[in-house]
Amino acid sequence: MDTRNPSPPPCTDSACEMSDHIGESTYSKRWLYTLILQVLTAISTTEDAAPAIEDSLESSLEEELCCLWDITSDQSLLPHLREFQLIPVFTECIHRSKCPRLIEISLGILANLSLDDVECSLISEEPGFMTNTLALLASDDTRVLIELFRLLRSVLASRLHRQAWLDSIHFAPEFIDRVNFILCSSTNASLLMSTISAVETILRIDDNMCELWCNDDLLNSLQEAQNQMWWVVFFLTW
């Protein structure tokens, strides 16, 4: 007589469907795993790609990444995203990609994820990520810079992990130089507001930075940015 264990009950469509959901959302785990594989494949071929290809992002992949960007903006889903290990995927995108759009989206996703303390810890402990991130201040892409400053504000909101970032900023003297350059030269109101907001956040939580940064250079830069934003508002309402 065959004494094997009985087969498990068949998975009903509704049960299988629920097990594939990310948290209580309608988003599919299988879809996200597939997207992660696509991203990893894309960045793995970056070194062999022609410059024109490196700077571009397939429209279908961009659309799906923007969907993930939207998903990560729902803070109730953040604990359910931990199992997908998104942090190393998108820190690697920033490290290896030369595509501004992919870097922008990656920064945006990481900014959202960092609102979860567990994910913020992983971001803050990722080897070399802070250095690579702060180096993006040299970028001339406005949208990359906006998301960079948003990421900084997100990680600095964490009392547990902000000090590591403050230390990195403190030992990057070019940081305030780049900030002053952006405030003095940018004509984009959104970038100016993002920059000012990030500087305000840093100065509010770190007295040492106040002593280093609060001088005529920063004051003149802020005045120039204010004048520029006034002209933008005047132009838009004229």
Q: Indicate the fold that domain 29-40+59-236 takes in CATH.
A: Leucine-rich Repeat Variant (1.25.10)
The 10s digit of each residue's pLDDT in 101-119 is 999 999 999 999 999 999 9
Token couple for 36: 């992660």
What is the domain partition of the chain in residue ranges? Answer: 29-40+59-236
The 10s digit of each residue's pLDDT in 176-203 is 999 999 999 999 999 999 999 999 999 9
Question: Model's pTM, two decimal places?
Answer: 0.87
